[in-house]
Amino acid sequence: MRTPIIAGNWKLNKNPKEAQEFLNAIEGKLPESGVEAVIGAPAVDLYTLVEGSKNTPLKISAENSYFEDEGAFTGENSPKVLAEMGVEYVIIGHSERREYFHETDEDINKKAVKIIANGLTPIVCCGETLEQREANETEGFVTGQIEAALKGISAADVANLVIAYEPIWAIGTGKTATSDQAQEVVHVIREKVASLYDADTADKVRILYGGSVKPESIKELMSKEDIDGGLVGGASLDPESFIALVNYQK
């Protein structure tokens, strides 16, 4: 049984004071079991979020980290320090990082390896552009991203990590993929993991859908066999909306 995950991705939004206000607003309103609630936040908010969510069901994610633990890498985030702080997840390979910060499949693979070595769980993002979808290239492109990201990672580690399928044309556009479109690609990703590893690993890895997920659409998405949760940008910023998302089973 795969435990569902609802992971917020705040992107470059909220300061520590606003992060604390968010924690105050969701206090006591997250399910104690049956779903993992995660907030991905800017590095400057992580200390406040980790400290303020102790003894609550909320888990905290970074939105990026470097593939070295320390050294002369001005401006980067250490995965080792993230782990020491109590951060549990790190989002990597988000399309915004690939596009604006020129992250390559190779960078993302190096990050995944280092994040796992530090005992953190990567949330590995993939997803196609509208042009690729219209040219029928979605499956080949997305499975290629996943194969590259997982290079050299053991089956046991892959079984524990999280993949997020986020079609770029659906991010921040209000255009959610239909639940059938999302299920179709998420299923293909799971089959790819089975072919790279084995059926058991594919059965365990959790695969989320992301792209304009809202409280109104989460239930339908979650009804699909292969979709194990959502990576949610805009709709995770408002505490009431985040509470509604993580309580989708009610």
Kindly list the residues in this chain that would bind ligand PGA in the complex (CB under 6 A): 9, 166, 171-172, 210-213, 231-235
Of 63, 96, 128, 166, the active-site residue reads: 166
Nearer residue to ligand PGA within complex by CB, 202 or 232: 232
**Annotated catalytic, 166?**
yes
CB of 250 to ligand PGA, least distance (A): 21
Nearer residue to ligand PGA within complex by CB, 46 or 237: 237
Looking at the DSSP assignment, which residues form a beta bridge with residue 122?
90
The count of C-alpha atoms lying within 13 angstroms of the C-alpha of 90, restricted to the half-sphere facing its C-beta, is 30
Nearer residue to ligand PGA within complex by CB, 93 or 233: 233
Cβ-closest position to ligand PGA:
233
The tokens for 141 are 């492109």
Diameter over CA atoms, the chain: 49
The count of C-alpha atoms lying within 13 angstroms of the C-alpha of 20, restricted to the half-sphere facing its C-beta, is 6
Element (H, E) at 7: strand 5-9
3-class secondary-structure state, position 138: helix
Distance CA 30, CA 56 (A): 8
CB of 2 to ligand PGA, least distance (A): 20
The count of C-alpha atoms lying within 13 angstroms of the C-alpha of 64, restricted to the half-sphere facing its C-beta, is 19
Nearer residue to ligand PGA within complex by CB, 80 or 97: 97
CB of 28 to ligand PGA, least distance (A): 25
Of 94, 96, 103, 128, the active-site residue reads: 94
**Annotated catalytic, 32?**
no
Which residues participate in catalysis according to the annotation?
94, 166
